[in-house]
Every structure is written in C-alpha cells, then in structure tokens.
Amino acid sequence: MTARRVRTRIAPSPTGEPHIGNMYAALFCKAFAEEHNGQFILRIEDTDRTRYVPGAVQMLHDALTWLHLEPDEGPLTGGPFAPYTQSERLPLYHQLAEQLVTSGHGYYCFCTPERLAQLRAGQEARHEPSHYDRVCIRLSSEEVQERLRGGVPHTVRLHIPHEGSVTFDDKIRGTVTFDAHTLTDHILLKSDGYPTSHLAIPADDHLMEISHVIRAEEWLSSVPYYVLLYQAFGWQLPVFAHLPVLRNADRSKMSKRKNNTSVTWYRNQGFLPEAIVNFLALLGWSHPEGKEIFSFTEFRHLLTLERIVKSGPIFDTKKLEWMNGVYIRQLSVAELAERVQPFLETTTIERSYLERILPLVQERLRMLSEVSTALEPFVRDPDPTALPFATAIKRVPLPELRQGLELATAALEQLTTPDAGQFEERIRTLAAKLGWKAGDLFMGLRVAITGSSASPPLFAFCEAIGWGRALHRLHAGIDALPTR
C-alpha cells in the first residue's frame, strides 16, 4: 500500500440539528488530519430526500466553526473535489453503477416495493435474517433489456459472492471478518436515481482521496460492502478506524430520547466550545499522563488511532458541567464578560460594573446560562417581604437577630470610608460581644443584603454593589423582619 497524504472526513446527513456524535467524529478526524499535515473534509450525504431539512447544512458548518473544528474543504468552503454534496454528484454514481453491471459486480433489479415487503414479511415469519432472494439476477439479458426499454422502474444491486469471507483491518478493532453468506445484495442505485450509502460513501471516499475513514462503530457492518466495491473497481482501500459509539448512562446508544444530542442545545446552555472538545476527546481515549484538562493542540499531538478503546463511553453530562466550570474559571474577567453577553439579553449591565461583579460569581458557574440568576442580587434589590429570614432565625431567636442586625447597621454607618476588610472586622467583633458565632450574624446580614441564604462572599458583595446600597438593603430588611 503506497503512502498517501492524510485526508479525513465526516459525512453527516442534513436531517436537523447538528448531532453531538458528529462533532465527536469530527474532533478525531480534524485532530488526526491536522497533526499529519492533511485535510479534514465536510461532505453532505443528502440522498434520502424525504429526511432533508433546509438550513441543516449551514447549522452543521456553524457547529463545526463554533467548536473550532472548521473543515478545510466542504460545501460552504469549496475545494478541489467539489461538489461536496451528494445530490450534486448523481452522474458520477450512475456511471459507476453502470460499470458494476457491465463487469458483473452489479445487476438490475425490477422488484416492486410490494414484492420486497412481502419477501421481508415472510422471512420475519420464518425467523430468518432479512435478505434479498436474487430473483432478478436470474433474468436473461433479453428479459433485462426488454424491461429497460419498457421503462420498468428498477434499481441496481451489488452482486455479493456467497462463498468465502470479506476481511479488512481496523486501526481500533484489529482484523475484522464477515462471512460472505451473511451479506445481502444491497441496493446501490435507487429507482429515483439517487444512490444509497453503500455506493455513494465508498465512491466519494475514493474520488475525494480520503485516506482514513474515522467514524462511529455503528457503520462497521457496512464496511464489507465497501471492500467489495473497492475490489470491483480496483481501488486502494482507505484506513478504517471505527470509534466507540457514545452511550447513555444505561449503556444504550446515545439518543435524544434520553440525552441532549443537539450541539445547538449545548451552545444555548452556555457550554464553552473548548470544554466540549476536551470532554469529547476523553470519550474513547485517555491522556497518556492521566490528565483530564488539556487543549485541542495537546490532544492533536498525542492522538494515535491505536490508543482509542473499543468499548462505548458514557456521555456523562455531570462531568461535562464540571469540566465546563473548570474552563469558565480559567477565563480572564474581560473574556468572561464578553462570553456572557448573549446570556444577559434581558439585563443591561454597564461593562465596568459587570467586570467588577463577575469575579464574585465566576467560581460558582457551571454554564454561562446561569449567569443571569447569579448576577440577579447585584442588579436588582430583593423584595423585603420575601426575604428568607427563616434560615437565620433557626440560628438565632428573632429578638436577638433584630438586635444584632440593628447593631451591625450602626457599625456600618460609623465607618466613614468603609471597605470589606473593615466591615468584616467590625462584624466579627460585634458577634464576639454578643456571644454569637460570627456565621450566625453573617447569615442574617446575608439574607437582608443579598436576598438569599447562599450568595457570593458577603463583604465583597457589599463592596461591589456599593456601601450605600448595602446599607439601604439592610434597613429595608430589618423593617421587614417578622414581629414574632
């Protein structure tokens, strides 16, 4: 096998929202191609016209771009092997199908959908594997030509040798063998003139000079058909590497019924693209040093196809949230302020104020979509009548709590130029005089000033919103304390 330049591809169908599984395959394809100075291609398989969704190609391209997995060639970027959309390549498939018929590796099938449905029903009733019975291969050449001249609808099927086996190597799974008698004469060209994937995929891989077919394990059973086609045409086989299929927590194949599969959903929830890329890299592969946080560049340098495992990895959303939080904490304040902008559409916050308060919530964020809720206490005074004082009253009886808050208010008013350190020192001293735990007094202040029993660091919060505003909230909170 002669050495070839590395060219990888993904070939999704434009049937709706871009699937996270496609991005998983794209990551490995992009990293492998880039590390070997090759090209990564986006090709669109749109031959099933009943499932085609307008705009889906743009969504796929946008998802790849957002994850920084931009293709080097594709329908929207162009390239030397255009067109990259199968519905625009029909003459090529027709020509190849005719070559197969001429060489005896394919044949015309005139079976109607009704006959094929009856055939499948009978096989199911007898508990037989579904397969075509080859009735049309027994037609004489005269019968075939007569039906063609008569315009009888027909398909082109692959002629499978039913003796021996089909063997190929897979970089992840080793040597794989299929017994020929378990294969069926699949349709290659449909009666509507569109190819099936059994013809279009291997044909396009060859014509676009794809060197490495890196894709999901679920496609493994299609490879023997590709091998037979490559052999029929005398083409050089690509390198195959079938990635483990992403799984739900119950080990079932990841699907939108049990998990969120749309890339758009993850983007709208505020997951960072670099966190998703890092997370996907760990599904089926592990860092040689056991690291969990690493960049795409580091992954690219370390990736080998042989290191990818066979077993299906669990798509653990909780782990992704944790990892996303790690990446959020690594952002500079200015960069975080920029990234949260799309999630603050209903809240107008001056940029300088935003950058002052973001560090106080950055540690707690798992997703950018949580930012509006996290910043709510900084931008809107709490409703005094709805303050959760019950939490504080559990720690300190109501009369004592009122007294403590009034004394804390007086302490704050006595500070001419208050800062977080001074105020905290005064409050700790006051708690000691009252014989309280400092945390008990902090809780009452927290509820009154932030409107919550859980909030960012209290004294830094007061400094961020302004001491005058904090004092105003404190007075309002005391006034709203229940009488008994």
Residues with catalytic roles: 256
Distances (CA, A) of 141 to 112, 133, 147, 185, 189: 19, 19, 10, 19, 19
- Using DSSP's 3-state secondary structure scheme, residue 81 falls into coil
Report DSSP state, residue 50.
G
Separation CA 255–CA 139 (nearest Å): 43
Report which of 158, 171, 145 is spatially closest to residue 237, judged by C-alpha positions: 171
Tokens 């950058």, residue? Answer: 355
If you search the block for the tokens 């909780």, which residue do you land on? 318
3-state percent helix, strand, coil for the chain, nearest multiple of 5: 50, 10, 35
Give the distance from CA 388 to its chain's centroid. 39
The distance in angstroms from the start CA to the end CA of the chain is 87
Q: Which strands make up the sheet holding 174-179, listed edge to edge?
A: 174-179, 165-170, 239-243, 212-216
Is the Cβ–Cβ distance between 190 and 178 less than 8 Å?
A: no
Asked if 68 and 277 touch (Cβ cutoff 8 Å), the reply is yes
The span from the CA of 105 to the CA of 189, in Å, is 13
Asked whether the beta carbons of 95 and 193 are under 8 A apart, the reply is no
